[in-house]
Amino acid sequence: MEEKYETRRLTIPAAEAILGREFPVLDHGFIRLVDYMGGDDAIVQAARVSYGKGTKKISEDRGLIRYLMRHRHTTPFEMVELKFHAKLPIFVARQWIRHRTANVNEYSGRYSVLDKEFYIPGPEVIATQSKLNRQGREEVFSAEGAEEVRHILFADATRSYENYLSLLNEDPNNPRSPLDPSKQMLARELARMDLTLNYYTQWYWKIDLHNLFHFLGLRMDPHAQWEIMQYANIMGEMTKVVAPNAYHAFEDYALNAIRITGPELQALRQLLSGTNLSELESLSQTLPTKREGKEFLEKMKDLLGRES
């Protein structure tokens, strides 16, 4: 019989429904939400403690969250945390670990024998090196060319695993004894060197919402590596379940927004110098909230060099 426990902490029914569920990624990988702390309410709670009476001017929680995101008040978002369990190719993990603002615990190849599971990309994502972007892809291979690549990757990964087991020389029924008594047993921490980077590893990855949004902003971008983007897209949907208002604000002000540089700003000023302000006032009314419409007008007046 399943035991039930009561809790006084904030729970989100939609998040509870997906907790622990494995979502497949690539050919053998997965991502699952293991745990979470807080949601939209935690962001609002933290902001109101921090800003005191000033936040009472914003009547709705959604409006407050959007205001915080829009004006880069990031600390309230750090009050929310999500913990994921991911199974991913080693080369994806090495790119992912560049995001150093998370807590990570990875499967140890020093302690355990790795499984014979490796990633072979589908023909639709096997592409040539980009001529403009040194870390990107360009044209998709022909069917014959893609099949040749897949064959080489499969053969090398298979052969490296056979050599890995040979170096280990472990009896699977008694890991402390050699499979071949005439040979020595190489330490696991050394034998793993022979495996290719498309072998799968696993880790637990815990991060606060502010830094998670930074990760998602980079890894959901169309310029991100395709493989890591598949994980990020699913993680984005999970994040939306935990903190929907915060996620929608992230979409509006980060994921689907662009950054304007100083020189670009000067160019826009020249382009819009003859714009009628009344047209902008009408346009401001199409924004999601009155506050956002007002802020839009203030920005445009500054852009045009007009008085508020």
Catalytic residues: 219
Residue 117, CA atoms < 13 Å, CB-side half-sphere: 15
Tokens (6 digits) for 240: 């939306």
Find where tokens 């020389």 sit: 169
What are the phi and psi torsion angles at 36 (to 5°)?
A: -150, 155
Whether 279 contacts 255, CB under 8 Å: no
Whether 88 contacts 114, CB under 8 Å: no
Beta bridge partners of 37: 81
Beta bridge partners of 85: 32, 204
- Per DSSP, the three-state class of 34 is strand
Task: Give Cα 218 distance to the centre of its chain.
Answer: 8
